[in-house]
Amino acid sequence: MTISPTLKPQAAASLALWHEMVAQQDLGRLPSILHGDAVFRSPMAFKPYASAAAVNLILTTVVQVFQGFTYHRTLVSDDGLNVVLEFNASVGDKQLKGIDMIRFDEEGKIVDFEVMIRPMSGLQALGAEMGARLAAYLPAYKA
């Protein structure tokens, strides 16, 4: 996985670890690159989930839900602290595309992780599956 040379070194190191964890489907080291006040912005709900624990729970769950997950284009902001990762995957029999839009701080910690999904049918399938898995832990997480 090529990391953009325009990304700041500490953000690039965190992104490299992220790609390694996703490839291994093991996010065990994610807390080491999450800021304590990290925020997750879900494709389903408008209101963000605030706290590293919530971000960790949601991302750990979603990597189990996606099948055939593959990253494509990587895009970086001029300040070298924001990245967009394009992906495709499927949930059940629904194909979907999406992006992870990640903001890092100067130390390379993830402070904001936002996910968008298309099309509607893929978002609905993902929302139903995530809601079923997370309802007990994050009552507000619904499709």
**Residue 74 corresponds to which tokens in the numbers above?**
């990587």
Contacting positions for its own copies (CB under 8 A): 2, 4-6, 41-46, 73-78, 82-84, 86, 95-99, 101, 114-124, 127, 143
- Of the pair 51, 90, the CB lying nearest its own copies is at 90
- Minimal distance in Å, beta carbon 94 to its own copies? 9
> Amino acid identity, residue 114?
E
- Of the pair 6, 25, the CB lying nearest its own copies is at 6
Closest CA to 32 of 84, 110, 86, 115: 110
- Of the pair 51, 82, the CB lying nearest its own copies is at 82
- Minimal distance in Å, beta carbon 91 to its own copies? 13
- Of the pair 64, 77, the CB lying nearest its own copies is at 77
- Minimal distance in Å, beta carbon 6 to its own copies? 6
**Residue 60 corresponds to which tokens in the numbers above?**
């750990």
Sheet holding 49-50, edge to edge: 49-50, 34-41, 110-118, 94-104, 82-91
- Minimal distance in Å, beta carbon 142 to its own copies? 9
Q: What is the largest CA-CA distance in the chain?
A: 41
* Rounded Cα–Cα distance for residues 25 and 31 (Å): 15
